[in-house]
Amino acid sequence: MRKIYAILIAALFTTAALAQQDAMYSMYMFNGLFLNPAYAGSHEVISATAIYRHQWAGFDGAPRTFNASIHAPFKRDQYALGATITNDRLGLTNMFSITPAFAYRIKVRKSRIALGVQAGFTYYQQRNSDAVLPDGFTSDQVFSVNQSMPLFNVGFGIYIYGKRYFIGASVPHLIPNSLNGKFSLAKAGEQVAKQYNHYLLTAGYVFGKDGAIVKVKPTFLMKYVQGDRRNLPQFDFNLNLLFVDRLWVGAGWRLGGDYQRWRGESIIAMIEAKLTPQLRVGYAYDATLSRTNPYQSGTHEIMVGYDFSYNKKRFVTPRYVKYF
């Protein structure tokens, strides 16, 4: 049983714009399928990735998210299929999603333009009975009944990439599903919580010649949530160094919706190592700069990726090094 205080419970029920939104990852540049269905097939082989993110470690009821994805091209690389599985837990809420994706890929010289669509199912749960309440709330019907509901959604995206660059834009959810349960605190016709549209833009480039000992990769992510009361986007700016095409070491800065404090929302350190031609592992740490900093010890993120059905010569040839 989670020990969730009444103030946190109230916040989960009444914060519409921020409480029920998609999880974001610091290592987004190494696993783009959860952001954009058009990313499917971009590794040119069967590729699987898993990420676990523990946000605000030490904070009771803090977000914990697991995401696994697999994708591959087929039919002479003109099409691609993929799927993601996500389990996102925050306080008393849990969302489990399965989202298949399809991409149509057009080869333009040494680049590809991919158009992607996805359709997914989400099972949403509100575990009100897990709450530990102060005296006087124990008889409240809202906190005595668990709620759950199935949700369906669709999304689309475009992804343009070559060996050394990528740019993508996507809207993962188009249907603004209501999350108001039977015992919601919402008034009739009022939306206390729902799935809002996310508008995402990503880009990156790798500087450095083939065979160079060190290469530089700046990347960028912009996320705009339509229902955010601040009506401002969130930005991630990242810079990674690649050593001998094996080891990524990087840092990032996340700027949230509060632009009055230009110190940002968090700073990020990350590392990704290619242990074999097929296997890669990564770790990221977010140091929070917001008002929650005194109450938690940062955010941890772990990633494992593996590429299947490969040609050994292809994976050791410099021109086939995968940067994204």
Find the mean pLDDT for residues 144-149: 78
Q: How many domains does one find in the chain?
A: 1
Find the mean pLDDT for residues 45-65: 88
What pLDDT score does 311 carry? 56
Find the mean pLDDT for residues 229-233: 71
What pLDDT score does 105 carry? 97
- Angle, CA of 242, 247 and 253, to the nearest 5°: 65
Share of the chain above pLDDT 70, in %: 75
Query: What does the pLDDT look like over 120-139, one tens digit per residue?
Result: 999 988 877 666 666 665 55
pTM of the model: 0.85
What pLDDT score does 323 carry? 80
> Count of residues for the chain?
324
**Residue 243 sits in a domain of what CATH number?**
2.40.160.40
Find the mean pLDDT for residues 47-65: 87
Q: Which residues are registered as beta bridge partners of 74?
A: 79
- Is-contact 130 1, C-beta < 8 A? yes
What pLDDT score does 56 carry? 78
Q: Residues 147-185, buried b or exposed e (16+ Cβ, 10 A)?
A: beeebebebbbbbbbeebebebbbbbbeeebebbbebbe
Per the structure, the complete domain to which residue 245 belongs is given by: 6-320
What pLDDT score does 233 carry? 86
Q: Is residue 191 part of a domain?
A: yes
Query: What does the pLDDT look like over 258-284, one tens digit per residue?
Result: 655 566 788 999 999 999 989 999 999
Which helix (DSSP H) or strand (DSSP E) does residue 132 occupy?
A: none
Q: Is residue 79 part of a domain?
A: yes
Q: Is residue 33 part of a domain?
A: yes
Beta-sheet strands, E only, within the chain: 46-54, 64-74, 79-90, 93-108, 111-126, 147-161, 165-171, 198-205, 214-225, 234-243, 247-255, 266-274, 279-288, 299-308
Least confident of 59-68, 71-80, 260-269: 260-269
Given a cut of 70, is residue 13 above it in pLDDT?
no
Q: Is residue 1 part of a domain?
A: no
Q: Is residue 306 part of a domain?
A: yes
| pLDDT-derived band at 50, boundaries 50, 70, 90 | very high
CA distances from 125 to 18, 63, 92, 207 (A): 17, 14, 8, 45
Q: Is residue 181 part of a domain?
A: yes
Q: Is residue 310 part of a domain?
A: yes
